[in-house]
Amino acid sequence: MNDAVGGSRYRAHPHPPTGAKIFAFLLLINVVYGNGVTRHRRDDLKELHVGALFPMEAGAGGWPGGVACRPAVEMAFEDVNNDPRVLNGYVFKLHHHNSKCQPGLAAKKIFELLYKDPVKLILLSGCSPVTTMVAEAAPVWNLIVLSYGASSPALSNRERFPTLFRTHPSANMQNPTRCKLFERFKWKKITIIQSVEEVFTSTAKDLEEQCRERGIRVERQSFYGDPTDAVKTLVRQDARIILGLFYVTEARRVLCQAYKHGLYGRKYVWWFIGWYADTWYYPPPEEGLNCTAEQMAEAAAYHFTTENIMLSRDSKPAISGMTGLEFQKRLTEMIATDPANAGGFPEAPLAYDAVWAMALAFNCTLNSLPKGMDLIDFDYNNTLIFEHLFKCVKDTQFKGVSGQVKFSDLGDRIARTQIEQLQNGKYVLLGYYDSVKHELDWFGNEIWHDGRGPPTDSTIVKESLLTVTIEIYTIVVILAVVAIIASLGLFVFNVQYSYRSVIIQSQPQCNNILIVGCALCSISLVLMGLPAEGITFPREFFSILCHSRISILMIGFTFAYGSMFAKVWIVHRMSASENQELAAISKDEEDGSPWESIRMLIAAMVGRQALVAAALRKISTHAYGSLVARRPCILNQPIPPAKFYTVIASLFGIDMLIILVWIVVDPLQRKEQRFSLQDPPADTEEDIKLLPILELCESNHQEMWIALILGYKCLLLVFGLFLAYESRNLKLRYINDSRFVGLSIYNVAILSLVTGPVVTLLIPSRGDANFAFLSATVLLCTYFSMGLVFVPKIVHIYRVTQSKDEAALANACLRSTISKSDQLRFEQLMKENSELKKQIDIRENRIAECRKILERRLGIAPESSSGALQSTGSVPGKTEITSTSPPSFATNNNNNSSGCQNDENSTIEAYKIQEDTVSSSEDANQNFESGTERATQSTGFNNTTMLLDFNEDTNTGHCSDFDDDSSITSNEILL
């Protein structure tokens, strides 16, 4: 279609200006253009032809601005042609096509315009993609392009578009306004979603630069056609302040996707371009959007728009004699569609003013051309007329219905920006911004969802320190304080009763160190739980906290465990060395040394249980058997405290060495371990996410230090465990609590060996669990150790008076070396001994009967003392049967071999046994010691051999008189 519109300048003006206004206007025209107002007859008029492209529809996604702009242009042609003040003697003629905002189609239409007569003097275009194409081509034909509807900032380029002017301001003009408002609402991060068109890409780039200069971070998402993926990315990026740069069709698609993805409401603020129609967000059925009008309206609620002012609100009339509002009213009457839905309705004043600018420029050119030259002489090779026209367009300025029309050197229109917000379905003016003067007129009409002010530009990420919960910390601190108080009390007790033997003999100095160790361990727990919930700790002192809590725990452990370790170590050492003295002849004299013990322990670890069992028996027998049996009082001498101090000081020295080297070489520093974001508590209204942070103490070679300390402590624990087991049956008078200490060592070692790896390797990142586990272990060890070592003493002191205590002390030498198991064994032996005596009695009776029978048979009187056998009968109840052979074996227990050769020569020395037994019952302690001594001396704890020892004089050739058959046989031989 190629419509030519010619206006009649004699037609009555539909909205005649007032008389005063007409007068003023005519005066202005006369002054500016110097023309007298003369009327021409229509057939005298010379035609000035203008080619124009209008985007009458959006096409695949563009600006359908021709809907309202073409009527506006036609109106302007009519007004200009009707106005006798401009282009007198000329008539404007418009030749136009529909470009559909598609550059390809526009190119075809432009060729049609240019290669079909008449020659066009100037080209009018709208829509950026089309204008870009036209403005790049036009200089080839010496044509000027005047754009009423191209906003692309890329068009502000004189090298690329040397003949372009536009009444439509560049989209960049809104960017200072946007940045100003982002600052006003304190947004530091915005996200642009744009379609891939040069107009929007260049706008977005300019905005990025401007925002960056103001310290606002800009993220950008582009799409072509379908915005679904781009919107999903916005969700992932946690975009909150979103600026959309696209044509209206794409705007609807984006809004629908925003609704689908929940990108609307209180937390989000959308910014759109302001030149869309007022009801743009309602989905036209032909677009097939998957959103209802209600959904779109809900998603669009309270969005902001920025747009250059395109309609003058000035009450003074423009050059056409109309005010902006009068123009708008006239246009509304002209167009068939609802203005709110008519594409290009906001830009229509620009199109109207573009025609006036053109007319005035032609007027100017007519006056500036050399005499005899006319505008109608123009052809596409006429550079002179082109240059005159170019200069006139450039210098054109007038008051239009869109405001003051004036072109910059780049051909841009300079205008103020207006900011609007969609409130309850209507756009409400919020303010104006003058980007030249940097002035913002703000009316304060903005509305926010829920009335809670501007939302944040992104989720507020609140750092949440993973501290020990206050409940757990409080419980641990209370228990730790109780432990500290208890240790103070025990210290007082230890000092107060230092005169009592039970204290004297328990190495009180050593126990005091145990108390100090327990207190230090408890104190370390108080530091270990920091920072707890609600209890902050200054970051600059965190390194000190790290070292102090570990050091205090290490030293506390060394004092507490070290003092117990020292006791079992010394018991073991003394026992072993004492035994070595007694068993000097033994080739295995080093078997009882601690190092041999370690060797056995290692063997145990590698699974050689059989070897270990044998070795342990050997060590135990070697270390304690002979010692207890033969020298019960040797170990009951006072032990100088220096011995204990030496052990503890050695361990303390190792600790201090590790701690100091650690601090100097590779100090612990505060490190943060960050976890993934978490939702806030359900009742939190704020738009926040929690970032859990765990404060850790770390040094560069953390693993090495952990391995060193754990390795050393574990070795100590295992060794202590072994020593405690080894010395479990031994009781030294001056370490009277060694058995309880041993129990305590079992407890500490097992708990620590379980806790150490769990806390350091399995749950290092779980603040509460880690602290609770560690605290439980430390507190259990502390309470158990203090309890096991001190409660028996307290009970003893309150039950046993001092005098009784001292009396018992006199006998302690004997009892102290006998274990419970040995006592039981002794009692067993006594029982067996009694059984044997009964058997001997039975045999004696039988012997007596035999003797009687023999005497009867031989006719020997019972009183006779002569013959082969003689009964001594010197002791009532006792019978001594003696052979006629010399009685050399009667008291010798080392001549079994000779005894075994001659049963008849055996002597049953029942009296001796009886005597031993009686003696045992008379003096339990002495007999306990003596019996055990004899038993152990011979075979350690071998009962059978012990019995042989007790009955050594009854041995026969069978080497055991407890064998009934052999004994009967010997008697029968006698018979």
Q: What is the binding site for ligand ABU (CB under 6 A)?
A: 63, 65, 127-128, 149-152, 168, 199, 275, 347
Phi-psi region of 450 (alpha: psi -120 to 50; beta: other; left: phi over 0): left
- Output 307 or 457, the one with its CB closest to ligand ABU: 307
Smallest separation, CB 128 to ligand ABU (Å)? 3
Instruction: Count the helices and strands in the chain (H runs, E runs).
Output: 30, 21
61: its two tokens: 């996604």
- Output 281 or 561, the one with its CB closest to ligand ABU: 281
Secondary structure in 3-state letters for 235-291: HHCCCCEEEEECCHHHHHHHHHHHHHCCCCCCCCEEEEECCCCCCCCCCCHHHCCCC
Smallest separation, CB 344 to ligand ABU (Å)? 7
Give the position of tokens 């004036």. 406
Whether the upstream peptide bond of residue 531 has omega within 30° of 0, thus cis, is yes
Smallest separation, CB 166 to ligand ABU (Å)? 9
274: its two tokens: 């302001």
- Given a contact cutoff of 8 angstroms between Cβ atoms, the answer to whether 207 and 389 are in contact is no
Sheet harboring 688-698: ordered strands across?
460-465, 688-698, 669-674
The distance from CA 440 to its chain's CA centroid, rounded to whole angstroms, is 45
- Output 150 or 797, the one with its CB closest to ligand ABU: 150
148: its two tokens: 């009423």
- Given a contact cutoff of 8 angstroms between Cβ atoms, the answer to whether 406 and 397 are in contact is yes
Phi-psi region of 265 (alpha: psi -120 to 50; beta: other; left: phi over 0): left
Smallest separation, CB 168 to ligand ABU (Å)? 6
Smallest separation, CB 126 to ligand ABU (Å)? 7
Give the position of tokens 């030498």. 813
Smallest separation, CB 324 to ligand ABU (Å)? 17
- Output 65 or 403, the one with its CB closest to ligand ABU: 65
| CA dist list (Å): 797 to 490, 502, 742, 793 | 13, 8, 21, 6
- Output 127 or 947, the one with its CB closest to ligand ABU: 127
- Output 155 or 256, the one with its CB closest to ligand ABU: 155
Smallest separation, CB 272 to ligand ABU (Å)? 12
- Output 346 or 556, the one with its CB closest to ligand ABU: 346
The CA distance from 285 to 56, in Å, is 18
- Output 200 or 433, the one with its CB closest to ligand ABU: 200
User: What is the phi/psi pair of residue 497, to 5°?
Assistant: -105, 30
Task: State the sign of the Cα–Cα–Cα–Cα dihedral 696, 698, 702, 707.
Answer: negative
- Output 161 or 950, the one with its CB closest to ligand ABU: 161
- Output 168 or 713, the one with its CB closest to ligand ABU: 168
Smallest separation, CB 73 to ligand ABU (Å)? 15
Smallest separation, CB 442 to ligand ABU (Å)? 24
- Given a contact cutoff of 8 angstroms between Cβ atoms, the answer to whether 145 and 392 are in contact is no
> What 3-state class would DSSP assign to 322?
coil
Smallest separation, CB 149 to ligand ABU (Å)? 5
Using DSSP bridges, classify how beta strands 122-126 and 144-149 pair: parallel, antiparallel or unpaired: parallel
Helices (H), ranges, 879-963: 896-901, 910-922, 924-939, 943-950
142: its two tokens: 């010496």
Smallest separation, CB 429 to ligand ABU (Å)? 18
331: its two tokens: 């246009």
- Output 317 or 344, the one with its CB closest to ligand ABU: 344
Smallest separation, CB 116 to ligand ABU (Å)? 26
- Output 196 or 235, the one with its CB closest to ligand ABU: 196
The distance from CA 432 to its chain's CA centroid, rounded to whole angstroms, is 47
